Every structure is written in C-alpha cells, then in structure tokens.
Structure 1
Amino acid sequence: MSKARVLVVDDASFIRDLVKNCLRNYFPGIRIEDAVNGRKAQALLTRETFDLVLCDWEMPEMSGLELLTWCREQDPLRTLPFIMVTSRGDKENVIQAIQAGVSDFVSKPFTNEQLLSKVKKAFARAGLLDAAMSSTPARLGSALGNDSLNALTGGKAQVVSPAPVARPVAAAPKPAVQTPTGRGQGQLRLASGTQACVIKALSLKEALLVVRRGEVLPQVLASAVLDLEQGENAEVARLNGYLHAIVAYEPRPDSDWLQLTFRFVDQDAEKMNYLSRLIAHGTAQKHFVPGA
C-alpha cells in the first residue's frame, strides 16, 4: 500500500526536524520532503505531488500565507490539505488564513499529540489514514517522548528527563520589590501552558528569562514561543525557539523563580530586525529582582 507524501515548510531547522521525527516515528515509511521557505516549497509543489503540507506562517522570501494563496490558485493544488503550523493565533490572522483556504491550524508550541491529531484528521478527510497508519506502532508515548532531543542529536540520545533545577546561579537579593512591569516583560508559551516572564538579557541568538516556578517544571529542549510586546505602537514579535537551559534563580532547591535560556530558531529577517531594535534601544532589562 502506498504511503502518504508530506511537505514540511519552516525556516527553522529545529522545527522541521521536530515535525519530521514526530511523523516518521508514528507513520513508519511515510515520505517527507522539507523546504526552508515558501519559495522553495513552491518549486517542490510544481514538480512533485504531495498529500499534505505542514507550513509555517512567517518565513523569508515567501510566507506561509502567500504559499497557501498560490496553492489555491493552481488547479492541481486547490484541494491539497494545507495545515498552518504557526505562532500566529490572533483572530484576524485565523480569519485571514481561513479566507485564503487553509485546511487546519497547529499552534506553536505544540505537543506531538496535538500535531498528530491534526495530521490524522487531514489524512482521514483525504482517505489516506489507513495507508498512513498501516504500520503504526501500537503505543505512541514511547515513540514520541524524545522528539525534541532527537532533533538535536540525530537520534543518538534515548531518554529525555525532566529538566533538573540544577546548580543555582549567583545569589539574588531577597524579594523586596514587585515584579517589574512594562519594559522587559514578555510571555512564554509552552505546550504545557503560558507563563509571564521578565527578559533579563537579550541578544540576537537567545534571551535570558526569569519565570515563577509552577507545579509543572519546563523541560530542556522543549519548543516554545516567546511573545514580546514593546514600544509605543505595542509591536508584537512572536519568536520561536526552545529551552536551552534551566536553573534555579535563587541559591536554594525550592527557589520560587527559575532562570531559562531561550534559544531562537527563526531565520526571519523581520524578526531579527525587531530584536536588533529592542537591543539598540535598551529595552531588555539587565537586572531583575523577583517580586513577592
């Protein structure tokens, strides 16, 4: 029985690898191609046949929305299942994509289960689910638990443990002020939920964040989205990335605050320009004292 063919489009190699590993672990034998932007994907769609497109929205050269619009103008691609994998969840963006003919959405950050649920729904609608799942393993959890790590290690690592609250960083002053507001604020979106955060330091490669510790600890290598809203015009940048390191912010194991190193994976020039302006204007807060 022939296997489904999927095209994964994202300018971030980490995200492409995460999606491809997830699909290959669950659908053995599935055929996957990838592209770094809409322009490269357009060339592949012109000369090859695919059963599903999983596409990022914000990419250089040609965005996901532009690729979707182009697909719906081509007779062979008018009904091609097209899932937008994006951090853009605003109502106006959703409406815009629906009007352009999108089939479904997967919001970043996503869990393997969330991604697979959308993919299986698309395959079912296209009558391809039986073929795609013909050799699917019986248990999902063991096959997918390590996708984030495999994406970075080429599949050599076998276990992803919850991120330890490792050696504490330098001692912070005792809580004496309220959590800063306004400048230096952000929102970190993980698959397990959303957390307010303070940007302690910022560069073009990574952000150093401080968040209040919750019941569920974030995990190293977990994919996430950092939302930054700054400036008089309330510009919002949705920066895709992953958690590179997690340590206790205070010198004790039960610290109420965690310090996260968030590595960016976007290659989008517009986002890099935005970050450059934030850094140039000194928007990032360099010193942070947790509030009560």
Structure 2
Amino acid sequence: MSKISVLVVDDAAFIRDLVKKCLRNYFPGIRTEDAINGKKAQAMLAKEAFDLVLCDWEMPEMSGLELLTWCRQQDALKTMPFVMVTSRGDKENVVQAIQAGVSGYVSKPFTNEQLLTKVKQALNKVGKLDTLMNSAPTKMNTAFGNDSLIALTGGKAEVVSAPAPNAYLQSTAPAAAAAPTKGLLNSPPVKAPAAPAGSGGGGRGQGQLRLSSGNQLCVIKALSLKEALLVVKRTDNLPQILDSAVLDLEQGENAEVARLNGYLHAVVAHEPKPDSDWLQLTFRFVDQDAQKLDYISRLIARGTAQKHFIPGA
C-alpha cells in the first residue's frame, strides 16, 4: 500500500519541524515534505502529487490563501485536502478560507491532538484515512512544547505536561472587527494586567500571549527584531521553555495587532524571590514575513520616541 504524502508549508523552520515530527511520531509510515512559502509549494505541487497540504497563512512571496486559491483552480488539485495552520483564527479569516475551498482550519498554537484530529478529518473526507491508519500509532507526547523539546534533545529530556489551565488562562481576546491586511490584523484592544513593580510601569506595550493551554495577558517589557521580553502574572500553570506560542502585539491609536509566531526561549522569576508573583518570559520570533518584521521595526521606533519599549534589550 502506498504511503500518504503530506506537504508542510510555513516560513518558520521551527513550526515546520514540529508539524513534521508530530506526524511522523503518530504515523510512522507517512511521507512528509516541506516548503518555506506558497511559491515554493506551488512549484512542488505542480511536479508531484500530495495527499494533503498543511499550510500557514502569512508567508512571503505567496500567502497560504493565495496558494489555496491557485490549488482550487487546478483540475488535479481541486479535491486535494488543504488545511490552514495559522494564527489567524478570527471569524472573518475562517470564512475567507472556507470560501476559497479550505478543507480544515487549525489555529496556532495547537496541541498534537488538535493537529492530528484535523489531519484525520481531512483525509477521511477523501477516503484516505484507512491508508494513513495502516501503521499503528506510537505513543506520543501530548504537550506541543514538550514534543519540541524532545525533538531538540534527541528524546533524552523528560518534561512533565502542564496541568489543565485555570480560569486566568482561559481569558480570550475579542474577535476581529475589521477585515485584516496581509500580515496584520485590526482588533479591539486587549486590557493587560497591571504592571508589576520594577517593570517600568504601565506605559510600556501590552498584548496577549496565546499558548496551547490557554491565553495569558502580558506587559511588553522590551522588544527587538528577534524577541520580546514579556512580564506575566504567575499562575499555578507555569509556562514551559520551548512551548510554541503566538504573541498578539497591540499598539497605536488604531489598535493595530500583529500576530507573531514563536516559542518561549526562557522563563525566569521577575522578582528576586522564590514566591515572585510575576514571571519574565523571553519570547523568540520564528516568522519570516517581511510585513511582520516591518511592523516590529515601527513599534521599536515608536517605543524609542515614546519610551514604550527598550529596543534590543
């Protein structure tokens, strides 16, 4: 029986590797290929057949929506399962993708189970799920961030999965009120928690950190083109290093929001005491989208003038 082949499309290598490892862990017989943007994926789809495409939305050269639209215009790709894997989870974006012919939708950040469920549903619709399930699934780590740690350490590290999120982590941002521009979303402001002592006060930027376990409001203590230094209120569920996450950065009079994909590079106590009420998180960006990088640059420039940020800290 032939293998199921999946094309993973995302401009962030970190995300591509996590998705591929998740699929390979659960389906040992699966074949995975990857592309760094829609343009590269288009060339690959024109040359060889794939059973499923898992694709990001915001990418340089050609977006995921543009790739999806092109696929549905090709006779050979009209019915091919195409699942969006993106931080654009607002109603307007979902509707736009459905109108373009998407087969499924996975919002970042996500757990392994959420991704695998969408993969199974998409392949089941075209009668290829039995082929995918032909290989018995292996035991997998249920924490998305923990799976990435195993990938980087060769399986030598053991990390305890985070417990179920509490009420604080369950807070969610309002849905977008206006149609998004490429790489940016316009949405109502998210009220951040009061700034802790020593963080520089409430004048700094604010945003929302979205983890697979839930959402957490944050204060932006510092910002550079590669990472953001965040301060969050400590809860019973401590964020884990290498957890995949999405940072909703919100600034400006028009409440502009940039949704940045990345992972937690470091987690430390914000106060010099073991019972610190605040945590300081280093959030590393993985996006290569030019418009997102430009947006961060403008935030840094604005912060330099208004003292909202500490560039490069």
Normalising to structure 1: TM-score of the pair?
0.88
Q: CA 1:203–1:174 in structure 2 vs 1: closer, same or farther (change >3 Å)?
A: closer
Q: 1:21 offset after TM fit, Å?
A: 0.2
**DSSP 3-state at the match of 1:281:** helix
Counterparts of residues 27-66 of structure 1 (less than 5 Å)? 27-66=27-66
Q: Where do 5+ consecutive residues of structure 1 fail to align?
A: 164-172, 288-292
Q: Where do 5+ consecutive residues of structure 2 fail to align?
A: 163-194
Q: 1:179 offset after TM fit, Å?
A: 7.0
2:282 matches 1:261: yes
Q: Aligned pairs, how many? A: 276
- What is the aligned partner in structure 2 of residue 186 from structure 1? 207
- What is the aligned partner in structure 1 of residue 241 from structure 2? 220
Q: Which letter maps to 1:69?
A: T
Q: Which letter maps to 1:6?
A: V
Distance in 1, matches of 2:50 and 2:286, equals: 26
- What is the aligned partner in structure 2 of residue 160 from structure 1? 159
Q: CA RMSD in A?
A: 2.4
- What is the aligned partner in structure 2 of residue 277 from structure 1? 298
Counterparts of residues 70-219 of structure 1 (less than 5 Å)? 70-137=70-137, 139-141=139-141, 146-153=146-153, 155=154, 157-161=156-160, 175=197, 180=202, 183-219=204-240
- What is the aligned partner in structure 2 of residue 231 from structure 1? 252
Distance in 1, matches of 2:105 and 2:271, equals: 39
Q: CA 1:253–1:112 in structure 2 vs 1: closer, same or farther (change >3 Å)?
A: same
Residues 223 and 243 in structure 1, CA contact (< 8 A), matched pair in contact too = yes
Q: 1:141 offset after TM fit, Å?
A: 3.7
1:29-73 per-residue CA deviation (whole Å, 9 max, x = no partner) reads: 201110000000000000000000000000000000000000000
Distance in 2, matches of 1:33 and 1:176, equals: 47
**DSSP 3-state at the match of 2:57:** coil
- What is the aligned partner in structure 2 of residue 168 from structure 1? none
Distance in 1, matches of 2:199 and 2:217, equals: 17
- What is the aligned partner in structure 2 of residue 170 from structure 1? none
Distance in 1, matches of 2:228 and 2:61, equals: 26
Residues 146 and 242 in structure 2, CA contact (< 8 A), matched pair in contact too = no
Q: Which letter maps to 1:100?
A: A
2:22 matches 1:22: yes
Q: CA 1:150–1:271 in structure 2 vs 1: closer, same or farther (change >3 Å)?
A: same
Residues 3 and 31 in structure 1, CA contact (< 8 A), matched pair in contact too = yes
**DSSP 3-state at the match of 1:214:** coil
Q: CA 1:177–1:257 in structure 2 vs 1: closer, same or farther (change >3 Å)?
A: closer
1:91-110 per-residue CA deviation (whole Å, 9 max, x = no partner) reads: 11111111101111110000
Residues 145 and 160 in structure 1, CA contact (< 8 A), matched pair in contact too = no
